[in-house]
Amino acid sequence: DGGITQSPKYLFRKEGQNVTLSCEQNLNHDAMYWYRQDPGQGLRLIYYSQIVNDFQKGDIAEGYSVSREKKESFPLTVTSAQKNPTAFYLCASSVMWGANYGYTFGSGTRLTVV
Amino acid sequence: GEDVEQSLFLSVREGDSSVINCTYTDSSSTYLYWYKQEPGAGLQLLTYIFSNMDMKQDQRLTVLLNKKDKHLSLRIADTQTGDSAIYFCAENQGSARQLTFGSGTQLTVLP
């Protein structure tokens, strides 16, 4: 079955550490997205990529970095520069053609700073 | 940017109907979407409606679209405890080829 997989489900980070969240899709989607969700809040866009080897900053990119070396993969690194990284992180993907490009979401990674 | 607006909370009794409302911004949006998020999970696409439709029904779900007022609603008939979740509406904004999400409505179903 096609889908989008995020790992790990739970991640703990010490102060000053960088951590990388994985996002892999086998839907043959061109576009991929990273969102952050804080308790009781909506989705905030961190980064997105509409084609391999290209990505754009979203609304809250500071303290985060991404790469898009393969169509299937869009890892997110939370750097030590992100001062408040504890949150739920969601990855999504979509097609880049046609008028109906609803997103498919992964199951999320919960990151906690300890 | 412009906002897609939803009320934050809705409580209903089990067996009643729920109506979740959304106001969107882009009159050129071709598709509008409803997503469901259960606790600790990702967003699941519930249904979508094409902009030239006024209504779409899918089992217990009814989507109503008022293009003149840019108003979208999701009605859940015979609401069950398993329907307790956060519901997000989203519109596509064609030129950016991205979805814009509302802030989500927390639906609580009371026994």
Range of lowest pLDDT (A47-51, A74-78, A104-108, B25-29):
B25-29
pLDDT given for residue A15 in this prediction:
87
* CA–CA dist B60, B17 (Å, integer): 9
- What is the structure's pLDDT at A52? 96
Tell me if A105 and B92 make a contact (CB, 8 A cut-off). Answer: no
Per-residue pLDDT at A1: 66
Question: How many other C-beta atoms can be found within 10 angstroms of the C-beta atom of residue A94?
Answer: 22
Is the CB of A104 less than 8 angstroms away from the CB of B45?
Answer: yes
What's the CA gap between A110 and A88, in Å, rounded? 4
> Both tokens of residue A20?
């990388």
Question: pLDDT at position B1, please?
Answer: 44
Residues of chain B by 3-state class (helix, strand, coil), percent to 5: 5, 55, 40
Q: CA gyration radius for chain A?
A: 13
Q: Is the peptide bond before A8 cis (omega within 30 degrees of 0)?
A: yes
Look at residue B25 in the predicted model and tell me its pLDDT: 85
Quick: pLDDT tens for B49-62.
998 899 999 999 99
The overall average pLDDT reported for chain B is: 92
B49 near B24, Cβ under 8 Å? no
Task: Dump the DSSP string for A49-110.
Answer: EEETTEEEE-TT-TTEEE--SBTTB--EEE-TT-S---EEEEEEEE-SSSS----EE---EE
Instruction: Please write the tens of the pLDDT for every residue from A5-62.
Output: 999 999 999 988 999 999 999 999 999 999 999 987 899 999 999 999 999 999 999 9
In A, what residues contact B, Cβ < 8 A? 6, 31, 33, 40-43, 48, 50, 88, 90, 92, 94, 96, 99-108, 110
The alpha-carbon gap from A38 to the nearest alpha carbon of chain B, in Å, equals: 11
**In the prediction, which pLDDT does A97 show?**
79
> Is the pLDDT confidence value at B94 over 70?
no
Residue A42: CB atoms within 10 A of its CB come to: 17
Q: What angle do CA B46, B48, B51 make, to 5 degrees?
A: 165
Contact A110 B40 (CB under 8 A): yes
State which H helix or E strand residue B63 sits in: strand B61-66
> How many of the other CB atoms lie within 10 Å of CB of A114?
8
Is B44 in Cβ contact with A31 (below 8 Å)? no
Q: How far apart are CA B37 and CA A43, in angstroms?
A: 11
Q: Quick one: pLDDT band at residue B89, thresholds 50, 70, 90?
A: very high
pLDDT at B95: 65
Residue B97 has pLDDT above 80, yes or no: no
